[in-house]
Chains A and B, each alone.
Chain A
Amino acid sequence: MQKFDAFTGNLAVATAMKQINPDVCAAYPITPSTEIMMIFADFVSNGEVNTELVTVESEHSAMSACIGASLAGGRVMTATSSAGLAYMWELLSVASGLRCPIVMTCVNRALSAPLNIHCDHSDAMGARDTGWIQIFSENAQEAYDNVIQAIRIAEHKDVKLPVMVCVDGFIISHSYEKMQYMEDKEVRDFVGEFKPYKSLLNVEKPETFGAMVLPNYYMEFKRQVREGMERARQVILEVGEEFSQRFGRYYSNFENYMLDDADFVFVVMNSAAGTVKHVVKNLREKGIKAGVLKPRVFRPFPFKEIADTLKNSKIICVLDRAETFGAEGGPLYLEIKSALQTIESNPTVINRIFGLGQRDFLPYHVENVFKEMRNYLDSGNIKMFDYVNLRD
């Protein structure tokens, strides 16, 4: 039986963690993710979970402790943001390389300098190539559902990789919204019991973890990580399908919002997708064929399915909430451009950087970009790269 209540994004994630009841959480506080662990620490103190909560002295130590606990055979979860994720960076590829199915929520926040505690995706995008599966969440509901599914994805025998569930700082993490949640037992049945692939604490069969590998084997182990990532494509769909059947909320690789005959397409992740969908709905009411593609899974990037969905559109605007400084465009734009190389048709793709450090991104900003796109179909002129709501 599911119930409705008011949740912030952080409360939604902490609630999912309580229901999952992991063996170990090692964490260090950083805004805006701090509250997840604060709420979770209450659950630990009140005996609502059996989790060993390890309060460490930095994010570098947090991820190190998570890796140790995971290798010891535990189900491990944590959360972080921005500089915290950056400080974990060294350990991110250790976690994937040692095949630790850790589930971490990344409450997206801008990177310094200048210091800014508000939302953008530069933290998660910096970690996109570290061998972590990355799943993005538009709202509290998706964050809750994604964290629960992430356990099944990470621990699947064909995957064995860490998963980062991304959710927008403040916009979602600190805003209350209506959310549907399951009973503890339903969640525990869905995630099942954790069976570690190997365990450091298995004294019957001592094994060595984290040994050095010379040039004659290193590439083979990285190839294995790619294999886990490739297998995850199918596993993510299967877990999403099972979740939909049990709990009635549908999850795939990406959300297709009014895309089927769309000439004008916006590609956007996380909370801003709600704003864009609102504008697109209004455009549809005026008879304009617009649509939104909201990637849910950024790693492994569903390039084939996305290219297939976008092939008949006329112009695509990719909205990036992160900079790449020196590349042709933002990280999502680069993925979409390269995905479209796999098909024959060649829609025009433009890139707009928005919302850095949580700069306002409002419906009229989307409408302005749409006007540029419509004008392009008549005139053939448009800026390929630009910013939204930047004082020029």
Chain B
Amino acid sequence: MSEDEENREMIEIFVMGKRYKVPKGLTIMTALEYAGYKYVRGCGCRGGFCGACATIYRTEDEYKFKMDLACQTAVQDGMFLVQLPFVPAVREDFDIEEVDPKENDNVMLDYYSEIARCVSCNTCTKACPQDIEAMDYVQAALRGDVERCADLSFDCIQCGLCSIRCPADIKHYHLAQLARRITGRYIHEHSDELEKRVQEIKNGEYDDKMKEMVEMEMEELKKLYEERDIREEG
């Protein structure tokens, strides 16, 4: 934020192997920008929600690769950084009307048969910047436990790091998306209250009152607003 760079403690990073000095206290993303890189790819929400900034890095004294989100990770002295290209994983089209788990043996296997090749190496789980139990949800899908797959994968931001690392070429984040949609559509109970309200609206039950509101004089509307009862506690 502050351009008062002179007084800041500087650290050294390597971007695609090139050395740069950047102030301490930045994220990987803002450090690259400080160094002069302008993002076109690899940057979306800047807040840990979209998965555009998935990145691989290594620190100077370690041989292991680490994986994380560039927008959510503090830059450290001696980091080797890269920008990741996109993940070209195949996604299977489906018709939401045709994936009722009660009418299919194992709907997950129908669409993503490669989950049967999972060798339980857990590399996907280790790669996940969201700490999701990715291998466990793949195993749940394999067993046909769609809801468990949906619940375990719920926080997935679809960055694709799991699938890049998978030796069996499983498309974790796509199959998890299918599991969640099946769960929302077929496994979770739907709302009666909502259904009732939709019917009331269809039947025009609010039409007259709404017309009155739209045409109401400002003063009257203000009065109504100030006098409305507010539900304060659950």
**Do A and B assemble together?**
no
Q: Interface residues, chain B, CB within 8 Å of chain A?
A: none
